[in-house]
Structure formats: structure tokens, C-alpha cells
Amino acid sequence: MSGELANPAGVLARRGVEQRSGKGTAAVRRLATGGLVDRTRPLEFEFDGRRYTGLAGDTLASALLANDVRLVGRSFKYHRPRGIFSAGCDEPNALVELRTGARTEPNTRATTVELYDRLTASSQNRWPSLDFDVLSVNRFAAPLLGAGFYYKTFMWPASFWEKVYEPLIRRAAGLGRASGQSDPDAYEKSHAFCDLLVIGAGPAGLMAALTAARAGARVILADEGFRMGGSLLSDNPVIGDRPGSDWAAQAIAELKSFPDVTLMARTTVFGVYDGGTYGAVERVADHLPSPPPFLPRQRLWHIVAKRTVLAAGATERPIVFGGNDRPGVMLAGAVRTYANRYAVAAGADVAVFANNDSAWRAARDLVRAGVAVRTMIDVRDTVDPALLAPLKDAGVRILLGSRVVGTSGKRLHGIEVLTGGHRSSIAADTLAVSGGWSPNVNLTCHLGNRPAWNEDIAAFVPDKLPPGMAVAGAANGRFGLADCFAGGASAAVAALEELGIAATAPALLRAEDEPYRIGAFWHVAESRGPAFVDQQNDVTVKDIGIAHREGFRAVEHLKRYTTLGMATDQGKTSNMIGLAIMAELTGKGIPQTGTTIFRAPYTPVTIGAFAGHHRGKEFRPTRLTPTQGWAERQGAVFIETGAWLRAQYYPKPGESDWQETVNREVRTVRSGVGFCDVSTLGKIDIQGPDAGILLDRVYINTWSTLGVGKARYGVMLREDGMVMDDGTTSRLGPCHFIMTTTTANAAKVYQHLEFCLQVLWPELDVQLASVSEQWAQLSVAGPKARETLARIVDPGFDLSNEAFPFMSAAGLTVIGGVQARLFRISFSGELAYEIAVPAGQGERLAEALMTAGAEFGITPYGTEALGVMRIEKGHAAGSELNGLTTAQDLGLGRMMSKKKDFIGRMMSQRPGLTDPKRPALVGLRPVDRSARLRAGAHFIPVGADAIAANDQGHMTSTAYSPSLGHSIGLGLLSCGPSRIGERVRAVDPVRGADTEVEICNPVFIDPQGDKLRV
Amino acid sequence: MRIPCPYCGSRDVQEFSYLGDANLRRPDHEAPEAAFHDYVYLRDNPAGPHRELWYHGSGCRNWLVVTRNTVTHDIAGARFAKEPT
């Protein structure tokens, strides 16, 4: 290094930087004046176990820089030391693990984290320490680890991939680690609607919002930062005769005075969706140590906007050169932002390397702020004399037609510059780099558009836009301040005009509108050492060369082969350079090379925000039956069935397990009486003169002839001939039916009936209403059911078998005037009724039944006993109504009417569906009666190998039958009904069972149905 | 995506469920099996304007015929399926 190495302390002292002595906690690089930080509010924070002090208004990055912390992380692949590179969401390097314990958040950009008191952060991807990282040896192996290395190297043996290579690579490469604990915070989702959504609160966005607000429009102004103002805060322009930040504060104050204007700071609009819908995430409490009570950590917004002005600004990109990843190499705009907004000198000895005018203004600002700028390097041979003057006056050494070819120091302490074939070493602890600005076109491209190349600014600019969107300011490639103001105002006026809202552009502000000139320049060919294009994924210029040589030349191939732009920053500072280098290699030119596709989200969004409240038990609502409270008081054990929570069984003291309880419940029903809540079944009220015709068309059997006061079992098919659902439907009046569906299909059947009425047969005069929630329905079953019911039915209703036979239905009152419906239907096979009362009366009905049946030993029973009794009776349920079975498969083929059309009729007649070899419903019992049957076992002929070719069907439902004293099953068996009495094996390889079973009638109990009719 | 329900107004697509081609007509009961086969299984897959059936299950429970461009997702309009075309 040459003798130019300065005494940093001396420079600091000369330039008026605060110098505090202490234990490393003093903010040594905080400028004495200026900035938008609150010097009266110091904030303590901790990084890698050391305590520091920052100021309110700092980001974690600005506070670290103020404390001269320059090494903040290790790179992804080579574990190279990395520092803070940018001042925004484009940050590739300064990724830290924020907070501790369950709130640990990995890969957080220090440049966007708002400093709060007692913030704790640590560096990532280093072991044992950030300063000394064992795995940094990877960088000596860098020549081996280039693009496509994994693809080429770890090809064989295949088994090694999972066991050896992948764990090794995962340990060596990678960034932060998730906490592994459940997220303690809450998240919300909200909808918002507006006339005009303005994205970005810089000069263009503020002006657009002001214009619309003054016209009385409903406006939402969203900005990702915690303080609105954008470049007005970081570039420190003069508007009129005041600082830009003052103007921004005044504009925000005015916006707040409008009732229809919503200002959303800390809100990133991350995606554009169809129909003017925008996805945004609001960081409600990320700037606090933990969310206050009743506030979510983040809120996900669906913003529906009639019109949108995108004023998202532009992102600076670097120039790529050897050793450009050394801590201390930063974007020029970032160094400017740290000085202007945060009053932080990024370094004590700054050099600038650029190809455009904006970096010269950055250097000018740094000089004004008192930051030591000693060297200005520009690849261009000439620049505007107006840019030269202020730097020359400040004694800055200016090197035109020059480029930086290399760097030195673990933390930067010198650069090597090439000027006209001559190399020289220059001391610098900070190198501010600018390769120009790329408009943030991302949101213009989310619906599939591509940006257009603009040669003048050497950048892609928005081209075709999503419907309803306009772009203003730097996002539109207009970098001048006056241009931003004018563009924002005119975009808002035009948008509102389309909505019929008259708006006028505010008077033009007197603002500096400095020209922006650029000499396109992407990377330094003469570089010494690795030159990083994508710093977060460690992709070098050389890697792009490899991709080119190996034929991965299309940008999408380049991206995937090298991983360029695939890191958490999505290549915000690197994609443009990568494709420019590829364009150079192929000789095709940048517009022809094109960009990769821009996709949402613009910046990473926490999965918790997308989940919102829908996690754990709140993933979906739990539906409770009308007798839930009563059942709880009885000590019932509950089970989730779909969305419903139902009583599974009602244990009594002294019962040792659920089986004993269920056996008792079944025996009590079969010998005395029991009752069960069946309210979960879907109930659809069907009214109208054509109701019978509708039922004829949706059910396979005939309905229009059903008498008033009668119930009937029905089966409905899908149009492809498979069974959709079954249930009992009753006729309450000439034009009034009440349909029951299975619990699982309630919503589906309702939608299907609406489809039939609205789409297929709109000429039918029928109305539907779902009344599933309105009625508490209890099944009362057993030989003593009638005697029990007689005690709760109000006088005057004749329950006798003659007056109210099997399959009757009627309205009546019970327990002293409670409106009710009574159906004499049976699922258990016993004498049984279902009685429905208004849902709010469910518990009262249960209590009344307990009292009325006490004499007969009445028991409530749950879903287990219900299931046992339906298997004993051979009724098909969910396991048999599986969407693959026909009515014939279930033994219900004879129900199909031949006299009428119904949905599924034609397709159910197809030869494949009427083939007798199809698996059909049978009963099964173990030959060894002590054996236990298992659902899911496959039927294999006795003596045949248990292989798929010999599979003849499977066991669908099984239960222990307390009535028979052994295990029973239902199954779908090929040619089943004609094989009654034969034996097959039930083979269950999963649980290691192979049981010989006897094929029998699926109705195990009372096959003639005598008990139903007594 | 937003669907302009003629009963409820412009609503988020999450309130609706999709069925498919609204141009299909259920064959007459005397039509041959082949006609039912086509009705049940055969679908066009147009790139461009498409008349589709959507059900507003979380709203008014109307079935709608929505004219949607499958390429751009532009919705040209929506009407009640029960109303004659």
C-alpha cells in the first residue's frame, strides 16, 4: 500500500465527526449535526453479544455503521466476510438473525430493520465466530465451487447424495436458521378499498396522493419504510428554500387531514393480482420489542384499487470488479443516505467509483455533510464541469477514464485503480460504487408484462402496464426531482379523470432538477480476484462465463444454472449486471437478452402473514352440535368429524376402556332405549309446486308419488353414474319436503341442488334453504323408544304403530309446546324415531329424554355406537360412499327407477359400471370368531398369493359387534353378492394380518326388518 | 381476481367456486349414451374468452355465467345462470 494511507482518526477530527472514548459503545461515526435521527432518544442494542447505542430513527444498519461495525455476515457459499452494502430492501449481504427464542427471525436485512430499544441481533453462517470462520476455507476452493459444480460433481453414487453430500453442503452453505419453535405472534388479514392506491411515498408518490386527496378521492398511500419521504429523506434536496424532508413532513401532515386518505407506512405492496387487487404486508409491530396486547405482529392486506400510481423509485446497481464484496464496498446512494438521513459517516476515508452523475452528487453531499471523500473515480473520460467543481474545491482527487480493478484488506483498506494502463494503489476504508439506477419495474410485470430497454439511462423501464396502473417518477425512469413531482401529479389527475373525479395538478414546486447522464459500464474486465455479480448467492463474473461456455445462455437458464438472482434479495442489485455480462458474451445486446420474469412477492413475506388467524385450532371453525354443553356435562368423550366436534361415547364410572362403554351403549339401545345427536346431518328445506319433480330428477327413486307425512330413503348419483350421497327425505306438505344429507356432503349437495335449479332446470318452481343449523335432531332408538317418546310428546299426538307407522313424518309439539318434527326412521335397525326441535331447545330435549327414559335405563350414545349399529345393519356410509361406487355396487341397484330420467341414469348403465365382477357390498365375519377384522385389508382368494393381481376388493368398515359377540366387517368384493358362504382371506400387509373370513349378507341383525316396524 | 356478481356487486374470487364451461347443455333423456359421454367428459380448453359457471357460495348462492378471458383473466361480464341468454 502506498504512502497515501491516511490516519483515520486525523481525518475524523478534521471533518468534525464525534469522537467519544469508551468501551466500544460510543457512536464513533455519527456526524455532529444533521440527519433525521432523534439525538435525544438513544437506543441500546446488541449485536453478536456486544452492546451498542443507536438513535431513534436509525435502522439496525445505520446504527451498526455509526458504531463502526463493518463486518456483519459471512457469504452463502464461500463464507467470505461481508458488510453492509445498501440502505434498503435490496441488501444482499447484511442479513442477520433478529431477536431470540421463538421470535428469532433469520435472514433479516439489517438495512430495513427499524432500531428499537434493546434490539438483539446476531450474524449468520459463521462458525465459531464472525471474525474467524473455519469454513471460510471454502473460498480457497472457490475455483472448484463454480457454476454447475454440484450438478457435475455429486452425480454418483446415488445413495451418497442423501447420506453424505447433501448434509455436508447444507451445513457449509446456507444462511440463518429457523427457531424450530411455534410462532408466538398473531397475524391478521384485512381488505381495503380505494379510488387510488399510491405505492411509494417519495416525491412522485406524495405528489400523486396530494393531488388525489385534494380532489376528494379515497386514497391509500403505502410505503415500505417507517418514515415516508423516500429520496426526499436520503438525497436531501432543496425545495423552494427548505430541505426536502421538511416538504415531505408538511405533505404528510396535509394528507393526514383528509378523512378519506389512509397512510400506510411500514407497508410493502408485494404483489399485483387480477382485477386491481394488490397484496400488501403491514409490519404493525416489528419496530417494537414485542407486539403490544391485542395487536398483530403483521397484517396482510388485500387492497382493491380502482386506479394505482406506482411510484416505487429506483434501485442503484454497482459496478462489478475484483474483490468488490469486501466489507466497506457499498452503493454510493447508500453512503449518501447514511450521511444525509442517518447522520452517519460510512467510513473515515471514502473513495467513489462510478459511471454516472448521481454518484457525483452523492460525493458532493458527503463533502457537505463532513464525510471524508478523498478520491472520485469515473469510467467516463469527461463529465459535466458543474459536477467537478464542488469536489475539486473540496480537494477531492479526481480520476476520469479509470476503473477499480482490485481491493485489499479483510475490512477494506485499499483499492487498486487502473488509469490509462497504469495501476495505482489508493487508501480507502469505504468505496462508494454506482453503476447507475434501475427503475423498480417489478410490480408492472407481475401480470406477465416485460419491461422495455431504455438506452439513455441504460436500464429497463415499464412498458405494458397492468390494467388501471400508471407509473411515475424514478420507477418510470424519470430521475429528476421536478420530473417526479410533475409525473406524480399528472398520473393522479389522469387516473381520477377516468373515474370521473376532477382533479388539478398542484402548482409546480421550485426543485433542483439535475440531469442524469450515464456511460453504461457493467464490470471491470481487468479485475484482480473474484468479482461478485450476486453477492448473496456468491455468483461471480467467471460463473456467468461458465454458463455461457456450457450453453446456459438464455437468461432463465443462466439464472437456474448459476443461481444468479435466486437469493432472498431476488437479485435486486445483480440481475441487471448478470444479464448485461451474458449479453456481452453472446454479442446479442441487452434488449434481445431480456430479463427473467418478475414474480411476487417484491420482498420476502413471512408465511405467518399469509396464514393469518388460520393456524392450529383456528385453521377452520369448530362446529358444535346443539347438545354440546349437555354432552360435556355428561362426561362425553368428543371426536372431530370433519368440521364437527361430536360426542364419541359417554363413559360411565367403572368402565375400563372405550370398547366397554360402546358395547354397553349398543346393548342398551338393542334391549332398551338410547339416543344420539344426529344434528350434523345436512338438512335442506325444499318448497314449491315442482319440488317433487326436482327430487325425481336428483334421486334415483321416485318421489313425486310420496304421500304427505311420509319419509323415504333416497340415493343420488353424480352425472357420471357414481353415488354422490344418500339420506332420508320427508314430505311435510304437498309442496314441502325436508331433505337430509350425510354430514360430510351437506354443502356439496346443497350446491348441487342449486345447480340443478338454476342451471339445468330454471323452469322448475322450487326454492331451497339450508336449515342444518336451525334444528337440533336427536335419534331415539330401541324397543322402548315409543314408550319413552310418549312421555315427552304433548297430548293429542297418537304415537301408536297404526297412527304413526314406520317411515312416517309429522309436525307436532313436545315438552310443553316446543315446536318439533318427528320422523319414524331408523339407522340402528331398532324401533326408532328422529325428533327435531329448534336448535336452542336441543339441550332441553336431551334432558327431557333422560328423564322420560330413566325407567328403561336410557343411555345417550355417541358416534362409535352409531357406527357399530350401522355396520351391524349393513348401511353404507362414508367408507362405502367413496365416490368410486355405484348404486349397484352398494346393493341399491333395484332402487333405480326405469320410468324416469335422473342425474346419472345414462352413465350408470355403461357396461363397465354394470359388470357383475365389480366389487360390491357384502358382509364379512372371521372364520375364527375371536379374530379381529381391520378396515383396509384386501381380499385374496384362499390359497392364492397375496399380490395385486389376485386382489378382489377391500374391507371398508369393521366393528366389534356386541350383539353377535365377534368382529364383523363390510367390504367391496368382486362378484360379492353371488359368493355368500364362500371364504376369502383378508390380507393386511401394513399391520401384518392375514385372516380367513366368511362372506355373508351385509345385514347382520334382523335382515327382514321386523324390529323396525313393531 | 374480482367477479362482478349481479346480485352482490364486485366480490373477491375467494367467495366463489368454479365449475367450468357454461356452454354445455345436458342432453335430453332420450339422447344416446355418446351425447351424455360428451357432456360429462369432453371439454374445450380455449385460450381467450370463455363462458364459465361460477357459484357464489359465500354470497348470494347464485350460479353465474361469467365471461372471462383465460389468457388475461379479464372479466367481460357476469349474469345469473337461471336467466335466459
Contact B2 A304 (CB under 8 A): yes
Instruction: State whether the Cα torsion A253-A259-A263-A269 is positive or negative.
Output: negative
- Chain A residue numbers with beta carbons less than 8 Å from the beta carbon of B84 are 762
What is the reported pLDDT for A171? 59
Report the candidate in B74, B48, B56 with the shortest Cα–Cα distance to residue B6.
Answer: B56
CA dist A689 and A344 (Å) reads 81
Contact B53 A759 (CB under 8 A): yes
CA dist B78 and A445 (Å) reads 27
The values of phi and psi at residue A264, to 5°, are: -120, 90
DSSP for A208-242, written as a single string:
HHHHHHHTT--EEEE-SSSSTTTHHHHS--EETTE
**Between residues 3 and 32 of chain B, which touch chain A (CB distance below 8 Å)?**
10, 12-13, 17, 19, 26-27, 29, 31
CA dist A718 and A751 (Å) reads 13
Picking from A302, A719, A910, the nearest residue to B12 by CB comes out as A302
Picking from A275, A719, A757, the nearest residue to B1 by CB comes out as A275
Contact B82 A759 (CB under 8 A): yes
The answer to whether B63 contacts chain A (CB < 8 Å) is yes
Interstrand relation of A723-733 and A711-717 (parallel, antiparallel or unpaired): antiparallel
Surface-to-core class of residue A575, CB atoms within 10 Å of its CB (0-12 exposed, 13-18 middle, 19+ buried): buried
Q: Are A7 and A427 contacting, i.e. CB atoms less than 8 angstroms apart?
A: no
Kindly provide the b/e burial profile for residues B17-50, where b requires at least 16 CB atoms within 10 angstroms of the residue's own CB: eebeebebebbeeeeeeeebeebbeeeeeeeeeb
Report the candidate in A730, A805, A709 with the shortest Cα–Cα distance to residue A1013.
Answer: A805
- Chain B residue numbers with beta carbons less than 8 Å from the beta carbon of A751 are 17, 55, 57
Q: Are A957 and A920 contacting, i.e. CB atoms less than 8 angstroms apart?
A: no
Question: How many CB atoms are closer than 10 A to CB B9?
Answer: 10
CA dist A440 and A442 (Å) reads 6
- Chain B residue numbers with beta carbons less than 8 Å from the beta carbon of A719 are 26, 36, 39-40
What is the reported pLDDT for A6? 37
Question: How many CB atoms are closer than 10 A to CB A889?
Answer: 21
CA distances from A74 to A70, A130, A325, A456, A510 (A): 12, 7, 11, 37, 46
Q: How many CA atoms lie within 13 A of A843 on its CB side?
A: 12
- Chain B residue numbers with beta carbons less than 8 Å from the beta carbon of A694 are none
Name the grid cell of B64. 353465474
The length of chain A is 1014
- Chain A residue numbers with beta carbons less than 8 Å from the beta carbon of B31 are 906
Contact B1 A277 (CB under 8 A): yes
Q: Where would I find the beta strands (DSSP E) of A575-698?
A: 623-624, 637-641, 644-649, 674-677, 682-687
Picking from B1, B41, B83, the nearest residue to A274 by CB comes out as B1
What is the reported pLDDT for A137? 57
Name the grid cell of A984. 376369502
Contact A905 B83 (CB under 8 A): no
What is the reported pLDDT for A172? 59
- State the angle between helix axes of A555-562 and A541-549 in degrees (0 to 180), rounded to the nearest 10: 120
Longest dimension (CA), chain B: 41
Contact A759 B61 (CB under 8 A): no
Report the candidate in A89, A4, A94 with the shortest Cα–Cα distance to residue A328.
Answer: A94
- Chain B residue numbers with beta carbons less than 8 Å from the beta carbon of A759 are 53, 63, 81-82
What is the reported pLDDT for A15? 39
Q: Are A714 and A703 contacting, i.e. CB atoms less than 8 angstroms apart?
A: yes
Picking from B1, B39, B63, the nearest residue to A273 by CB comes out as B1
Picking from B57, B73, B84, the nearest residue to A274 by CB comes out as B73
Q: Which residues contact A725 (CB under 8 A, 6 or more apart)?
A: A715, A716, A741, A742, A745, A748, A749, A881
Q: Closest-CA residue in chain A for B16?
A: A751
- Chain A residue numbers with beta carbons less than 8 Å from the beta carbon of B12 are 191, 277, 302, 304
What is the reported pLDDT for A3? 35
Residue type, A585: L
Q: Which residues contact A979 (CB under 8 A, 6 or more apart)?
A: A922, A973, A999
The values of phi and psi at residue A814, to 5°, are: -135, 170
CA dist A36 and A939 (Å) reads 78
Surface-to-core class of residue A948, CB atoms within 10 Å of its CB (0-12 exposed, 13-18 middle, 19+ buried): exposed
Instruction: Give the position of cell 331433505.
Output: A739
CA distances from A875 to A826, A984, A1004 (A): 11, 22, 10
Q: What is the ipTM of this complex?
A: 0.98
Report the candidate in A435, A418, A584 with the shortest Cα–Cα distance to residue A518.
Answer: A435
CA dist A432 and A412 (Å) reads 12
CA dist A331 and A319 (Å) reads 9
Q: Are B75 and B40 contacting, i.e. CB atoms less than 8 angstroms apart?
A: no
Name the grid cell of A611. 396464514
Question: How many CB atoms are closer than 10 A to CB A576?
Answer: 23
Name the grid cell of A844. 332441553
Contact B83 A762 (CB under 8 A): yes
Q: Which residues contact A936 (CB under 8 A, 6 or more apart)?
A: A954, A955, A988, A990
Give how far the C-alpha of residue A966 lies from the chain's centroid of Cα atoms, to the nearest Å. 49
Mark residue A109 as left, alpha or beta (left: phi above 0; alpha: psi -120 to 50; beta: remaining): beta
Contact B53 A304 (CB under 8 A): no
- Chain A residue numbers with beta carbons less than 8 Å from the beta carbon of B62 are 758
Helix (H) / strand (E) containing A420: none
Distance from CA of B26 to the nearest CA of A (A): 7
Spans of chain A, pLDDT less than 50: 1-25
Interstrand relation of A397-400 and A373-378 (parallel, antiparallel or unpaired): parallel
Interstrand relation of A539-540 and A623-624 (parallel, antiparallel or unpaired): unpaired
Contact A191 B63 (CB under 8 A): no
Model-level pTM?
0.89
Q: How many CA atoms lie within 13 A of A662 on its CB side?
A: 19
What is the reported pLDDT for A620? 87
Q: Where would I find the beta strands (DSSP E) of A144-284?
A: 187-199, 219-222, 238-239, 242-243, 261-264, 267-273, 277-282
- pLDDT tens, residue by residue, B17-76: 999 999 999 999 999 999 999 999 999 999 999 999 999 999 999 999 999 999 999 999
Q: Which residues contact A326 (CB under 8 A, 6 or more apart)?
A: A81, A83, A407, A408, A409, A410, A411, A412
Name which of B11, B12, B70 to mutate to probe chain A: the one with the most chain A Cβ atoms within 10 A of its Cβ.
B12
Name which of A620, A693, A759 to mutate to probe chain B: the one with the most chain B Cβ atoms within 10 A of its Cβ.
A759
A-B CB pairs within 8 A amount to 65
What is the reported pLDDT for A27? 67
- State the angle between helix axes of A541-549 and A575-586 in degrees (0 to 180), rounded to the nearest 10: 40
Name which of B7, B33, B82, B83 to mutate to probe chain A: the one with the most chain A Cβ atoms within 10 A of its Cβ.
B82
First to last CA, chain B: 24
Interstrand relation of A682-687 and A767-770 (parallel, antiparallel or unpaired): antiparallel
Instruction: Give the position of cell 383473466.
Output: B73
- Chain B residue numbers with beta carbons less than 8 Å from the beta carbon of A274 are 1-2, 13, 73
Instruction: Give the position of cell 309429522.
Output: A810
Which ranges constitute the DSSP H helices of A297-444? Answer: 332-340, 357-369, 385-393
Report the candidate in B16, B26, B46 with the shortest Cα–Cα distance to residue A275.
Answer: B16
Q: How many CA atoms lie within 13 A of A152 on its CB side?
A: 11
The length of chain B is 85
What is the reported pLDDT for A126? 73
Name the grid cell of A472. 411515475
Contact A277 B36 (CB under 8 A): no
Helix (H) / strand (E) containing A26: none
- Chain B residue numbers with beta carbons less than 8 Å from the beta carbon of A277 are 1-2, 12
Picking from A304, A720, A754, the nearest residue to B61 by CB comes out as A754
CA distances from A60 to A1, A298, A342 (A): 33, 19, 11
Picking from A754, A758, A907, the nearest residue to B36 by CB comes out as A907
CA dist A101 and A809 (Å) reads 62
Q: Where would I find the beta strands (DSSP E) of B23-73?
A: 49-55, 63-69
Residue type, A256: K
